[in-house]
Amino acid sequence: MVWVLFTTIIFSLNVLCPMKSNPFLSLIGLGPRGLFALEQLYISFSRSELKVLPFILIFESSDVLGTGTAWKVDQTPSNLSNITDRALKDFPARPAFDLQGTTFPEFPCYFEWLETVMDHEPNYTKDAFQPRRVMGTYLSQRANSFIERLITLEVIELVRSKVDNIEKLNGKFQVFTEDDGLFESTNVLIAIGHVSTAMSDENQKFKKHAVDNDLYFSNNSYSNQAKEIYGAASTFAIKGLGLSMVDVMRMIMDHYDGDFVQQEDSIYLDYTLKGADVLMVPYSLDGLPIVPKPLGKNVDDHFSLDQKQKKDLFAKLHKQLGNTDNLTIKELLKPIATVIADIYSSLEDRFDDTSIGKSGLVSLIVDWLVDPTIKHDHILDANLPVVEYMKRTCEMAYGIHAFSLDYTIGQVWRQLQPDLYNIYSHKLPPKLMSELIQVDEGTKRYSFGPPVESILQIIALYEAGIMNLDFVNDPDLKLIPNGFQLKNKNGSITCEALIDAILSSPNLEEMASPLIRNLKENDLVEQVEDKLGIHVDINNTHLVDGKPIDGLHSIGRNIKGSEYGVDAILESFNPIKIEHFVTKIHSKLIADSKVN
């Protein structure tokens, strides 16, 4: 494995000095989205006849640029990405460009970087899911190669502090940092990722119980506190059955010596633990586990639309957007359900022999998308014992079991997601957008599912007596002196540690970071819809009471509801999502230069 940092720089001295005394833009956060926004801005500047480059302040408190929290380079290699290398083939390169005499060479796309720098080639039989720190390495190299040149040109200042307040005064924005810094700029772009939320009443009780009884509790499964717990405790209750639970499982098992071994003539694994005992007991409100993605392209192709199907579908979806006043969520979903029905009907192996006509199948798909708890012979029974349920989905992922209708819906939806994100963002009324996001959240158990290897490992740990899955479905939880007791009709179990492995969604009302709290107090932000994020327009300008806050912009997961599709790494590098903001900023810059 070769680790290379692209640091070859070509400098020019023939650059006019930027306006340092009057920063044009403050960029808050240089994670993936902030990085791409900055790249797009300077590429746009390079195509104009600007005589003076704008000066930009960049606020980023992390030691490593470009990665955000999810892609940190120092995380355990056992934390895997849940997106395949193959699915990242459209991750864009940064093109080469010249900026007033200085050359910015191309930085390769992620796919090319994997092949040339990491010496990795795609395998279409079995998809590869890289450790998340591999993507982090790519992002940090891409960021460093860019920021180094901008610093040398003296067009940016990198402020290593966290912003905790923004105020607007006399048409300018006052940017305050937690170490008492004060900066001023004409425009602000907030590109922060996951922010802290207020601790729930339940978690506050858990925390107090742990402190009072010398137990362990963490409401942030990726915190340093949680990492210490993984090495100190031996029995863990884990709240959540999603991707974070898988990460917690792996971070715990990193402290133990053991091996997964492939069973002979089987897809399943055995696990042998050497030495100390450990026990993990995950649970959730519905007891439904995440569903693995198809093993590789050969299986995934069963769920692909051909070009004509895509063209016809997207034309119907765009036509719907011509009049959304009375459009219902079920009407919105019907064209998508129709193509899913065609794909399911074309599958060679049938999951169930129960006859269902085309219209009935389309209606069933729409109903399931709106309410994934409905039951039908063509839908995998969610009441199966959880291990049996996991085994069926793993066999589907391998293509050795007939695909159920729900599995088919989830995989087709996953393949359509990038296009749906572009089609629907800023195009739907807030209520309808909220309903579509609820549908999307319901599919994430499938569309954002992990590698099949992760589920096979859970099964192996269960069969080895290390993962207890008897309490997954909404158990009673009692606080007793010697631990956290999970109880259902079949029995009880007590753990000395409890880890909350549920990541909070971007709900503006629950965000507790000082920056968001102060934005709300200063009337510079409002919620787009109940339980969703910041209200922005197509230019990413904040809207409050229907009026734009000129110069104040947000991008990323915290504008969920204004924008559709905020969680995927590909969306962080989606030029369509950022183009209106870039155009607006560039136009303001041109206008300002003419005035000055």
Q: Give the model confidence (pLDDT) of 197-206 as tens digits.
A: 889 999 999 9
Q: Which residue, 146, 147, 168, is CA-closest to 157?
A: 147
Residue 8 has what pLDDT? Answer: 30
| pTM, to two decimals | 0.93
Beta bridge pairs of residue 485: 478, 494
From the list 213, 145, 198, 155, the residue with the least C-alpha distance to 8 is: 145
User: What would the mean pLDDT of 72-99 be, rounded to a whole number?
Assistant: 93
Per-residue pLDDT at 276: 86
Q: Among 453-457, 500-504, 592-596, which stretch is predicted with the lowest mean pLDDT? A: 592-596
Q: Considering the domain 202-290+451-500, what is its CATH architecture?
A: 3-Layer(bba) Sandwich (3.50)
Distance CA 229, CA 497 (A): 8
Per the model's pLDDT, the better-predicted residue between 533 and 276 turns out to be 533
Predicted confidence (pLDDT) per residue in 468-496, tens digit:
999 999 999 999 999 999 999 989 999 99
Contact 164, 39 (CB under 8 A): no
pLDDT at position 5 over 60: no
Query: Does 518 have pLDDT greater than 90?
Result: yes
Instruction: Please check the confidence at residue 110 and state whether its pLDDT lies above 60.
Output: yes
Q: Which top CATH class is 25-195+511-555+563-595?
A: alpha beta
Share of the chain above pLDDT 70, in %: 96
**Band of the pLDDT at 2, cuts 50, 70, 90?**
very low
3-state secondary structure of 231: helix
Classify 170 in phi/psi space as left (phi over 0), alpha (psi -120 to 50) or beta. left
Q: Any residues with CB less than 8 A from the CB of 234 and at least 6 apart, and which?
A: 276, 277, 278, 279, 496
Measure the CA–CA gap between 119 and 113, rounded to whole angstroms.
8
The domain spans of the chain are 25-195+511-555+563-595, 202-290+451-500, 297-447
Q: What is the mean pLDDT of residues 582-591?
A: 93
**Mean pLDDT value across the chain:** 93
pLDDT tens, position by position, 134-148 = 999 999 999 999 999
Please enumerate in sequence order all residues whose Cβ is within 8 A of that of 9, keeping only pairs 6 or more positions apart, or say none: 148, 149, 152
Region 210-239: what's the mean pLDDT?
97
560 vs 564: CA distance, rounded Å: 6
Beta pairing class for 97-99 and 102-104? antiparallel
Q: How confident is the model at residue 7 (pLDDT cuts 50, 70, 90)?
A: very low
What would the two tokens of residue 591 be?
């206008």
For residue 195, give the nearest of 500, 559, 516, 441 by alpha carbon: 516
Alpha helices, DSSP H, located in 404-451: 405-424, 430-447
Nearest to 114 by CA among 80, 84, 156: 84
Same CATH topology for 25-195+511-555+563-595 and 202-290+451-500: the answer is yes
pLDDT exceeds 60 at position 177? yes
Is 361's pLDDT higher than 90? yes
- Strand 216-218: give its sheet, edge to edge: 216-218, 497-500, 235-239, 279-283
Residue 430 to residues 211, 363, 433, 549: CA-CA distances in angstroms?
Answer: 43, 25, 5, 19
Q: What is the pLDDT of residues 554-575, one digit of tens each?
A: 999 999 999 999 989 999 999 9
Region 264-281: mean pLDDT is 95
